[in-house]
Amino acid sequence: MSVTTTLYPPPNPLTLPHLSSHAPRRTLSPPMATIIRRHLNPIRRRSLAVAAAVRQQQQPDTTLWTPAPLATVKPAAESLFHITIDVSDSPDLAASYTLAGQYLQLRLPDVEKPSFLAIASPPSLTSTKGVFEFLVKSIAGSTAELLCGLGKGDVVELSPVMGKGFNTDRISPPEDYQSVLIFATGSGISPIRSLIESGFSADQRSDVRLYYGARNLQRMAYQDRFKAWESSGVTIVPVLSQPDDSWAGETGYVQAAFARAKKVYAPESTGAVLCGQKQMAEEVTSILVGNGVADDKILKNF
């Protein structure tokens, strides 16, 4: 004999499995109803989670995608590519890029998953030449790998520019923040390039250092720009984690190289900018805050 159970109060028919209606009904007291609900809730929660995931997949993409052709795809370092995209026919998109450290999504035709890319070129280059430049790491099986395999004239789609960027107003004026410590690893140098070439009065500060980490020199992008960056007032400290025997500079991890630095800075007049590996960012932040640098003077673009 099958039994149909009526809860108190009457249940939503969607929350219980269907039971036969040909048997006598029993009304449970509220305590028993609570016990049954307790046993059903884990199943219900799993069902709702699956349903939510399905609905999310079925929801239309509301992102405004702008088609734009590639202007340049060329190697920048081992596993890294310098990519330029022409946005001269999309003035609204170009004008939305206002701060170094901002990023966007890039989508390829017939590829479901887009990539998030930090813009490497400064906003001034976009406004004058109508291009976005990126430093893209080619990772096997990723959208980025497919992107790095394209050529001039191939069309991609770009989302609106996103992110708060590096708010350098928080470490201004330069006379009040004489030290700015910059940290980047791998392709995290991309938005740092934008910051340096956008200008943040580095030449008016007494100590601006860039700790730039890579596995070796073959994986270190933008070496051709180092001289110009140093001319703008930035001291560059390359840090290699797996150098060859001829390397005489800093070795290991960026955070360790910074910890070993003997040059003293005044924490109350120090700002910092971080971009790269999560562990590096966390450890550098811990060192800086532990030495008295205010947390709101440590700029990140995420």
Mean pLDDT of 286-298: 95
Residue-level pLDDT at 60:
66
> In this structure, what are the phi and psi dihedrals at residue 271, rounded to the nearest 5 degrees?
-120, 165
Q: Where are the alpha helices (DSSP H) in the chain?
A: 30-58, 91-95, 123-129, 143-148, 189-198, 226-231, 254-260, 278-290
Distance (Å) of CA 244 to CA 180, 241, 258:
30, 10, 21
Does residue 46 carry a pLDDT above 70? no
Tens digits of residue pLDDT in 182-226:
999 999 999 999 999 999 999 999 999 999 999 999 999 999 999
Q: Mean pLDDT across the chain, nearest whole number? A: 85
